Chain A
């Protein structure tokens, strides 16, 4: 590590010679990018930053784009599996007293649906999008802590595969994604199903925490020169706030799941009322995570909306500062609402009223966001392309979900609709409208960057209308059937309650919605193979990820861009100013100051390594065996320690030299 005098951000196109000084011994200094011609620069950087060929090379990769692609594909597979769970449930519920699926399987299905969608699809895919885009958007060569990032993927993959193998073995959790005690406790959940839930939660959260840490450091320390706090793209802000929420929320659920497995495996009585424990404690811990979880899924999607709207409204987003402050406010407030999931537990009225007020309050910053986005459109007719269609879908659907959320915030009203299909409708409007529609828009928007090819606009429009109609047909009637008294998580219902027709309609809508994803998958494959070449910036967007080629090279940018505006590519139409002085023979990043993003120091970025994979295997194995015996923690500590030692072993290689 050395201090280096890099080109300042206000020196466009001057490739000022960076001089080595201070503690940097000249014999350790390799070739720099300064004054190098483009071809040889590409040669050097590709050699330094590329992923090695072969299977070991692939498994050792620490390139954020490679890891993110794996994350995205894996999360999409889990989305399809979770969707199949939903289709199976909807077929069972399409009429009263159907005997297709019994309670034992149905309870596993809805638990796996919730667990898969929340922990294996929604959180990983928003984080993965961040892993791909954040380093590009802040103009860096790689994510911070690239090995930790690689480790997080392997942990996530093993957690998800473990959960789904347990499902195939008829051992999947059947206690709901929330796994309330005492139902999930040792007395009422014999067998290993609830243990699978507890350990799977704990270790997919390990992965989520790892990504959050890497994202925070990338945003705070690796921004391109000149990208001061007020010039950070809103998407990056959203990921930054989300990552902080992850860091504070995830430990709560890890504590809950760890306490649960201690009760089940070691015989503690933390949640056992008969021994002085308390069943409600679990709910507090779970929802202290569970409510921020919703915002962990939603905030990155607002970032996507903020990224897509300006491009198609053809102007910078209105109220940039207001949007940033709203993001931060939502992040803070999300920790003050968890009790609204527990109004029916009979809490003291005064305390519950406080949570009504706080739950209502979070609608204010969310309202600010909606109004600012709407105002962005008011300069003229926007250019309507598929990404924008999905953003319109987001407005139509999410606003309904937000407004029913206001209804649920009211204690007395909530007591009628809590744990009914009204709530199922509400949170699907919030999560699918608020997160999946922006994600689909984002897929159409950034697919050209990731693959170098465009997705079909025509199929995209079909996809949008199929998804929009299917979604509303499936979920809008659920508001009604919930008010008519249908509780959640029932595998069947009696014919005389009159819920048969509406459930049949809902099931038909659900299948239509599922088919829209089949069409989407086809469009993705078709686009990847036969799509029109995209070029660097097919939408004429303004942020840095569009400054590099599509797909980006392993080193992201040949020269680190210098940022002069919140939409740098719009401000510098001719050529982006760049900063030079980084070495090209080793992985070197430019580290900048937190607030002003002044270039500060040059920092080595970790080289590829197989150890993160081995460490993930050791951690995964330990968790897996801890389902059967607490001694797994003792015996598993050895391989975990060995792999971590290997990971961090000072090898005397150049990366640790200075």
Chain B
């Protein structure tokens, strides 16, 4: 039986080695906050491991003893107990010292984190919905305010202030490789500052149970150099590209005549719904349905045809389209770069 133990650990080791470098991992930090936190995690974990090993040695020591436990249980050696008391006192003292140290460490780490976003220029309002993220870029000029969904573009190397709230239930915004999580609570506004050191795509997902599709509520931070980010913002401010091909034109008309417009907005068209993601530039996004599907013609068609099969319980209803109609709508949406 005891020989099984090392075998189990060996098997476990092979499993643990893979997957360390995830793009949604707190141990693979890509920003100052997550780096500070990863350091904190390793430090705490290392210290805890040392303490655990010491406790295990103290536990194993009597098992190695030659002398058996006494037969007469009340014949306790008072002198030995006095010595034990000293050892226990020292152990309690050390425990207290370690805990005070960790408390201070935690407090100073918190201060470091709070300083990261103090000079943030860009403010993005993130509103949680069941089960997607509304993203609004604030600007002093009203015409430059931009609304999009699920993917948050930020300039790399610059701190960005996220204002977090919710439209329905409590969600939690979490990009492990950039920062710790913070809740989106209806009636409350939370502030989270993030910064990505380098350009890249950082995945995250909702971390507070929010109902049927909590598992499929992904989000992405897309960090780009400043110039590219500014160009992106300008592009996104443009109204939707008018379709040119016949099929896409037919698709636009179908979109506008069918229930789609009740929920979705497409800038530059009469579609003005605000309860579902803004589709003005949907084809420029990398994923569909809050990170559930990658963006492609096939997935667009699948999502429209069978949203309840892909994301059961989601608020996207099935809108009946014939095969040709579906192709047309997809052709239209695909052109919304």
The interface of chain A, by Cβ under 8 A from chain B, is 102-104, 107, 175-176, 180, 182-183, 187-188, 273-274, 278-280, 310, 312-316, 318-319, 322, 344-346, 349, 353, 356-357, 360-361, 363-364, 367-368, 370-372, 374-375, 377-384, 392, 395-396, 399-400, 403-404, 406-407, 409-420, 461-462, 465, 469, 473, 476-477, 480, 483-485, 487-494, 497-499, 501-502, 505, 540, 542, 565, 567, 570-571
Contact = CB atoms under 8 A, between A and B. Distances in A.
Contacts of A361: 99
A46 to B, nearest CB: 33
A100 to B, nearest CB: 13
A417 B34 CA distance: 12
Interface in B94-139: 95-96, 99-100, 102-103, 105-107, 109-110, 113-114, 130
Given A379-B69, A419-B172, A485 B25 contact: yes
Nearest to A185: B169
Given A412-B106, A542-B73, A381 B45 contact: no
Contact of B174 (A104, A375, A487): A487
Interface string B181-205: 1110111101100000000000111
A263 to B, nearest CB: 14
Nearest to A322: B88
A75 B206 CA distance: 34
Contacts of B68: 380-381, 383
B12 A279 contact: no
21 contacts: A273-B188, A279-B186, A313-B69, A345-B188, A360-B102, A371-B87, A371-B91, A374-B58, A378-B80, A395-B55, A395-B59, A400-B52, A406-B48, A412-B40, A416-B26, A416-B41, A419-B209, A465-B4, A487-B205, A492-B215, A505-B11
A413 B41 contact: yes
B24 interface: yes
B298 interface: no
A412 B36 contact: yes
B44 A407 contact: yes
Given A313-B62, A485-B25, 7 more contacts: A364-B92, A377-B59, A410-B44, A410-B102, A473-B8, A483-B41, A567-B74
Contact of B181 (A316, A364, A395, A419): A419
A299 B318 CA distance: 53
Contacts of A498: 18-19, 22
Interface of B: 1-2, 4-5, 8, 11-12, 15-16, 18-20, 22-27, 34, 36-37, 40-41, 44-45, 48, 51-52, 55-56, 58-59, 61-71, 73-74, 76-77, 80-81, 84-85, 87-88, 91-92, 95-96, 99-100, 102-103, 105-107, 109-110, 113-114, 130, 164, 168-170, 172, 174, 176-177, 179-183, 185-188, 190-191, 203-216, 218, 291, 312-313
A378 B168 contact: no
A363 B212 contact: no
B107 A356 contact: yes
Nearest to B112: A412
A375 B87 contact: yes
Contacts of A377: 59, 61-62
B24 A364 contact: no
Given A107-B212, A483-B25, A469 B74 contact: no
Contact of A103 (B62, B168, B213): B213
B88 A501 contact: no
Contacts of A383: 68-69
Contacts of B103: 356-357, 360, 410
Nearest to A368: B92
A118 to B, nearest CB: 16
A414 B181 CA distance: 9
A381 B110 contact: no
Contacts of B36: 412
B10 to A, nearest CB: 12
B15 A501 contact: yes
Contact of A188 (B15, B66, B180, B211): B211
A370 B71 CA distance: 24
A107 B100 CA distance: 40
A188 B169 contact: yes
Contacts of A315: 69-70, 73-74, 76
A364 B99 contact: yes
Contacts of A473: 8, 12
Contacts of B5: 469
A344 B182 contact: yes
Contact of A314 (B71, B80, B291): B71
Nearest to B7: A469
A413 B204 CA distance: 17
A374 B59 contact: yes
A81 B19 CA distance: 33
B3 to A, nearest CB: 11
A278 B69 CA distance: 59
Contacts of A182: 168-170, 186
B168 A188 contact: yes
Contacts of A312: 69
Contact of A406 (B4, B44, B185, B210): B44
Given A183-B170, A410-B106, A103 B212 contact: yes
A413 B37 contact: yes
Given A182-B169, A370-B55, A319 B88 contact: yes
A280 B179 CA distance: 23
A461 B2 CA distance: 11
A279 B210 CA distance: 14
A104 B18 contact: no
Contacts of A279: 170, 185-188
Contact of B182 (A318, A381, A415, A570): A415
